[in-house]
Amino acid sequence: MQPLEGKKIVLGISGGIAAYKCAELTRRLTERGAEVKVVMTKAAKEFITPLTMQAVSGNPVAESLLDPAAEASMGHIEIGKWADLVLLAPATADLIARISAGMGNDLLTTVVLASEAPIAIAPAMNQQMYKNIATQENLATLSRRGALIWGPAAGEQACGDVGLGRMLEPMQLVERCITLFQPKPLQGKKIAITAGPTQEAIDPVRFISNHSSGKMGYALAEQAAQLGAEVTLISGPVDLATPNGVQRIDVLSAEDMFDEATSRAQSNDIFIGCAAVADYRPHAIAPQKMKKTVDSDEITIRLVKNPDIIATVAALSENRPFTVGFAAETQNVEQYAMDKLHRKNLDLICANDVSQAGIGFNANDNVLTLFWKEGNQHYPHASKMLLARAILEKIETLSTHKS
């Protein structure tokens, strides 16, 4: 059986250059079993023809709110009711603004208003338009109301700019549709995840930190939410958007992260420590900016150990969550990971070799080996998003087996 068998998807196309990718998107969706009905805005027809979309979807394209034939049967209400998913791709800044404002001034916006199906928005626009506070606030409003925001991706744009604003590729959108309709094995589970680096202040302007981007932890949070979990993400300072449906708590230092994590651990079923927590912090934070001295070429900063978050969680005697750690190693990966698994009393540890370029810290991909008391499993080079899903599936199996 195809993964989208029997799923009814309304593809809403608005007027952006990425509209040309909609023929490919529709083909890939229908190949996987979905039935696709296309609704186009007036501007969308400047970028791709209704005839093309009719040919690839196998359904007539709905274009006008004031089409007497379609509206004889209240077309916009019918299409909205028919949908299992309304996918807006590409969603221009204008379409996003109109939906956010609850407007119904063309067929597509009325379909959105009239549908109870999930709404997925794939933004596509110039990077400056995407960054604009109005667009950001409109997306935040829609996300708060439950809309799924898929993308955008970063890269070179049709206008020559480089930045965030490219529509996700058709296959990435197809994968999100498949995930959306998959069974939700983590439904009813609460998961706390730490992510990103910590910053340990030296004085008001300097700190000690590391190269963690947060991508691995955020991928886990996004995938866990998609699998139905209630997710709390305790995040160090990173430059990433909060995944849909995830509660995010921002912290700076290891001690802040310790407080937020340990106070929540017992109300969660699963705890994942993916953050690169600084092992040491300066003994004291200088109250004023430290000045360069003329009489010495050296400076000594005394460091003291930070509390170990994951070991504290794993040592809980009551309401202990299933506890998963990471091991970032540059040598003897298996030996050090096994040592951490036992020493910190973890249920599972995900080991990565952070000495290799293109994986580990600040990369989109990773290579992982998972170790638990009775076994291990290697996951070769893949995107952090795919690996996050594999980790969560393993956690689901091991934690169900344990309880």
Site membership for ligand PMT, residue 86 (CB under 6 A): no
d(C-alpha 296, C-alpha 298), whole Å: 6
Residues 200 and 254: beta-carbon distance below 8 Å:
yes
Binding ligand PMT (rule: CB under 6 A), the pick from 279, 330, 334, 355 is 279
Give residue for tokens 């950001």: 136
CA 333, 334, 337 angle in degrees (round to 5)? 80
Binding ligand PMT (rule: CB under 6 A), the pick from 327, 348, 367, 385 is 327
In the chain, DSSP finds a helix count (H) and a strand count (E) of 14, 19
Helix (H) or strand (E) holding 192: strand 190-195
Beta partners for residue 272, in sequence order: 193, 324
Of 216 and 398, which has the nearer Cβ to ligand PMT? 216
Exposed/middle/buried for 305, CB within 10 Å: 0-12, 13-18, 19+?
exposed
Site membership for ligand PMT, residue 276 (CB under 6 A): yes
Site membership for ligand PMT, residue 4 (CB under 6 A): no
Binding ligand PMT (rule: CB under 6 A), the pick from 19, 83, 120, 328 is 328
Coil vs helix vs strand at 83: coil
Site membership for ligand PMT, residue 277 (CB under 6 A): yes
Binding mask 332-351 for ligand PMT (x = CB under 6 A): --------x-----------
d(C-alpha 401, C-alpha 403), whole Å: 6
Residues 85 and 177: beta-carbon distance below 8 Å:
yes
CA 70, 74, 75 angle in degrees (round to 5)? 45
d(C-alpha 37, C-alpha 63), whole Å: 11
Q: Is 159 a catalytic residue?
A: yes
Give residue for tokens 């529709």: 26
Site membership for ligand PMT, residue 47 (CB under 6 A): no
Instruction: Give the helix ranges, DSSP H, for 155-199.
Output: 170-181
Of 127 and 198, which has the nearer Cβ to ligand PMT? 198
Site membership for ligand PMT, residue 207 (CB under 6 A): no
Contacting ligand PMT within 352-391 (CB under 6 A)? 352, 354, 360-362
Smallest distance, Å, CB 308 to ligand PMT? 4
Considering the candidates 159, 177, 274, 350, report the single residue annotated as catalytic.
159
| C-alpha atoms less than 13 angstroms from C-alpha of 365 in its C-beta half-sphere | 9
Smallest distance, Å, CB 334 to ligand PMT? 13
- Of the candidate spans 82-90, 119-127, 145-153, 270-278, the one that interacts with ligand PMT by CB under 6 A turns out to be 270-278
Smallest distance, Å, CB 324 to ligand PMT? 8
Binding mask 302-321 for ligand PMT (x = CB under 6 A): ----x-xxx-----------
Residues that bind ligand PMT (CB under 6 A): 194, 196, 212-217, 254, 273-277, 279, 306, 308-310, 325-328, 340, 352, 354, 360-362
Catalytic residues: 159
